[in-house]
Structure formats: structure tokens, C-alpha cells
Chains A and B, each alone.
Chain A
């Protein structure tokens, strides 16, 4: 393999891109649009949601724990109203005038304080705050649960001792996150790189086949491995550039916090881009025209979009479907990038994902070279 010829291919691919404004727009503006739409749609810009409190707590106002918690609600997010009965409150949610009902059980303060001071002899009363939310839109209900949770935490902190209050919001996976975007931004970046790189390689390679350039190249001193590697380098660069841009936007506009080493995240994304490039070349041998190539798009995009853990963890996917997730390269990239960005993990903890991506890359690129080398 000769480096100069490999880079000739890389430069060629990048030049092609530079000359094609539409493709440049596709590469950089489309994912930006996607992350912005998702960002706006999913971030905690939930404001002034009307919640109805049904306070069954009978403790006097001065010592009432429930009143303290209610006063700690984030009034930017929720707009508190009161109702006397649960059925009345639920009615308000049903007719759409409110989004959630928050129920404090009778003797709430008494039960909590008794438990907190160790009077276990007292029968354990109900210490659970119920949140009955209109969950048709979890992006509104989740922040409400978040508000209740943080108000409880804040109140207990003010009490200065442990108090066993529980909030019944079984959907607690993201409930604590008002900022859902922290969870899915890494996923969106990976999926954008995966989808666009596969699509661009596919189109570029079908072009190489139909325009005859591939014939000319195969009849030239350029080796098949140099061609594949040249493309890989080009798309590695493009994928990294895309992710830099996307991550910048995520940080600047949506306050995504990067905990870990961002360079490690870029390395993972470049690796994913190379995997996608290999897949694109493989798929190109199945398509005769560019129009046919585009038809592969749903096959490449949809399963990864739904099953690679962008919006919910793999564990939330039905068990029988999970093997499909593990066959999708983006699954590993999403997991690795999210772990680096959100959890601050290093290579020592994400290496299984990196190894998986390496295996995918070797298999796809290897097959691509074999396929190109094959002479009828």
C-alpha cells in the first residue's frame, strides 16, 4: 500500500465535496437542523405547566412538610393550583386545563416525621407523594416529576436530617433529567455520522461504478486497499468535522455538559464513520444506479435510529429484539460517546465498545477490498 496514492483518493473525495455546495449543506446543515429540532423539542424549556395539588396532609401550616415541599416547587416550570379532592383534580387533567396532579396522602408530615425520628412503633403511614401526570407527552411530564423530586430533596436538606419521603413516579429513568438532551445528544451525533457517511459513500461509490471511474482506477496502479483506505480517511475526517460542529452546537445552544475527554469521543466517531464507509462500499455493489442506492437509506437508518439506544437504553428494548441492537455498529458508538460525554468515562471503561467498532471496521473494509479485487 502506498500512502501517496491513498491520499490522492482522500483529497479527491474532499475536493468533490468542496465543489458541491448541496452536499456540503447535507453534511453540515442537515444534522444541525436535526439536533436543533430535537433540542428545542426535548429540552427543559417546559414552562408554566399547570399542576393541581391535592393536599391531604392535616399537619398545622407551621410544621407542615407538604407545604414546605410545595413552596420549593420551581415556579418557572410549574404553576400550582389546589383542589380538594383527587377526583376533582384528575378531572382538570382530563379536560386539559392541567397537566398533572400531585397528591400528598393524609398524615403525610406525621408519618414522615415519625419514621425519621425512629418511632418505628408508630404504624407506618403513607409517606408517598403521588404524581399523576398526563404522560401522553413524557417531555412535559418528566420535568414535572423532576420538579417534585428536586423540591423534596431540597426540603429534606433544609430539615437537616434523613426523612424517608418517596415520590411515586415509576418512570424515573429520565425523570431526574430535566435535560433529556444530555442523554440523546451523543446518540444524535452518532446517528447523523452513521447515516450520512453510509449514504455519501454509497452514492459516491455507485457514481464510481456508473461513471466508469472505478474501471479506470482498477486498471491503474491504484490498489483496491488504497482506494478503500483513501475513502476511509476522507470520511473519517468528514465525520469528525461533523461531530465537532454538532457537539459545539449542543454545548452552546442546549447547555449539554461534556464531562469526559472530548477527543476520545471524536476518535470513536471517526471510527464509526470508517465502519459506515465500509458498509457504504459493500452496499454500492448491490445498487446499479444512484436512485437504487437511496432506497437503502431506510434499511440503514431506521433500525439504528430505533434500536441503537439513542432515545432509550438498550435495556428498555424487548429482549428478543436486543440481538439486533448488538448487530448495529451505532449501538457501540452511541454507548461509548455517551459514556465519555455524560459519564466522563475513559478508554479503560469504554474499550469493549471500541473493540467492537474495530471489529466491524476490519470486517467491512476487508470485505470491501475483497469485493473490489474480485475479477469476474
Chain B
């Protein structure tokens, strides 16, 4: 039995090796290897046999994990360099963020393709906001790394190409809608003419033409949300980070928000959005479920529903959460 059937799959940051080895004790399996090779040795009373797997890319030999179950050995090897995906807007590789003893983000890896809406879903405190803050360069990862628009964060050069809408809305309440837009426009280096032209288009988009000179403080909550979105869109970013943009927004407005997002996506803008409203995530092209700092599942809404045999994303999430909890 010198031939062990081995299959190799690649992800952005990992190499998965699955070997079928029935009737072997876990204790008899030995693993060794280098950056480019993995040796699997099995030694028991019936003899000793081994196989050597040549790896397609360099890996970090110190960060391998192995799991043997039901006669199948699964080895996960971390890539030494994350896969360069030219069509990725965001690549997170094994991101970790600790605050003291608390692990807010726990080895998460994901990839947002250009021109898609990617939703990070999870309950409050699952690490969504921390992840976005790392990607925006506001926090430093404790380990792991992230690339945004091809540059490793934090990098000030990406700032002008991203739009960020923090959870807190982030507007000056003592300024009018117009004054807020002008300020953010100037910060992003837009000319007066550019600001004027963009402002008109945006006010039409968010349907606030008549409130241009109203103080933000005097706007209704929904109007403030729309203005905040306009502030993030003013400089025509390629990539939008929207942190809980629909929190506290009534269902009507939420529906129209998602229409804006889909419209923007169709214009080629990439959107990374976080939400804890599971049902609205069906608008996303792909979603990642987050729980306790970990990414517990990833896929298109349809895939996740099918895999869990559920008919709502909420049930799908719960199904993954239970499996994770059992581990």
C-alpha cells in the first residue's frame, strides 16, 4: 500500500491535502516536510509505508494542522505568500486581532472579488466591525495580513480609492447636508466643480434634493443615513466599506438602500458590507458568516441554503453556529 490516493486543493491562503488511509490508527501517522514537500508516513505492525507530496506552492511548514477522521487524513497548510488574485479587491489572510486577552478576530481569511457585494454576517460582537477597521487601516492586525486594492494595509495610498461608512454615521450634525458633502469632497481633494457635479447626482440618488441646506441635526434618522452614504460615495471610490449601514433603518428605506447598493455594484463598485440582519443578506453575491471572531462559513446565499438544507439564512447561520459550537 505504497500509493495513498491524495488530492490537493488550493484556497487563497491554504493548501488542503486530503489522503484516504482506511484502517490506520491516528497515532501511527507521522507528518514531516519542508516549504515545498509534505511527507506522510504510516508505521504499524503490518509494515511501514510513506508517500511524498510535492506542493504546488510554498507553504509555512510550522503552521500545518492535521485531522484524521473516518479513514481520511486532511492536512491544512498555510501558504507562505497568499495567492495573488488579480481580480480581488480585498484579500484577508489569517487575520487576527487581539485586545488584551480578548480575541476579536480569530484567523479569518476571505477574498472579496472586484465588482461583487460581499456581506459579513454575524451577531453583534462577532468581529465584523473590527475586521472592517483593519481593512480601512484604522487598526493594526495582531497577526496575519490583508491586502486592499492590491496594497497591504495599512497603506495611506489606498485611502483615496475607498469609501468608508462607519456605523456611527460620521457626519457633522452642526453642518448642512451641502456643507458636509463639501467638506468630505475637499478632504478627498476634489475641485469645487467636481463636488458640485457629484453632489447633484448623489442628492438625486438619495432623494434629498430639497434638504441640501438643512442641518444634518434636523434630518430624520433615515435621511441622515442616506446623507452618510452620500458622503462615502462622493469621491467615486472603487471599493466601499459599509459597516451596518442599515442598522436602525426602517424596512422601506432598507429596501431602497439595497437597490442603491445593487446599482453601485452594477457600475463596477465593490462593496463589503456588514450586517446582523440575516434576511437582507440575500442581496449579497457572497456572504461570510462570522461568529466569535471566526469565519464559520462562506459562500453565495444559495449555496449556504443548499448546504445546510434550510430555507432562511438565519437558519443556515444557526446550523453552522451549532456545528462550530460542537467542535
Contacts and interface: CB of A to CB of B under 8 A. Distances in A.
B168 A212 contact: yes
B184 A220 contact: yes
Interface residues of A, number: 26
A19 B169 CA distance: 20
Given A15-B175, A211-B168, A217 B154 contact: no
B171 interface: yes
A211 B171 contact: yes
Interface in A196-215: 210-213, 215
Given A12-B175, A16-B175, A375-B154, A220 B170 contact: no
B322 interface: no
A211 B139 contact: no
Contacts of A4: 186, 189
Interface stretch (B22-30, B51-59, B158-166, B257-265): B158-166
* Interface bracket on B: 35 or more
| Residue of B136, B154, B168, B187 with most partner-chain A CB within 10 A | B187
A218 interface: yes
Nearest to B169: A212
Interface in A215-259: 215-223
A5 interface: yes
Contacts of A375: 137-140, 154
B183 A11 contact: yes
Contacts of A210: 168
B156 interface: yes
A218 B170 contact: no
A222 B187 contact: yes
Nearest to B97: A376
Contacts of A216: 164-166, 170, 184, 231-232
Contacts of A212: 166-170
A11 B184 CA distance: 12
Given A211-B171, A213-B170, A215-B164, A5 B186 contact: yes
A20 interface: yes
B273 to A, nearest CB: 16
Contact of B168 (A215, A218, A221, A222): A215
A8 B138 CA distance: 22
B280 to A, nearest CB: 22
Nearest to B176: A19
A10 B167 CA distance: 25
Interface of B: 99, 133, 136-140, 154, 156, 159-160, 162, 164-176, 179, 183-184, 186-189, 215, 231-232, 241
13 contacts: A15-B175, A19-B174, A19-B179, A213-B172, A215-B133, A215-B166, A217-B187, A218-B137, A220-B160, A221-B189, A375-B138, A375-B154, A376-B139
List the 6 shortest-distance A-B pairs measured between CB atoms, nearest first: A212-B168, A8-B186, A212-B170, A212-B166, A216-B170, A219-B136
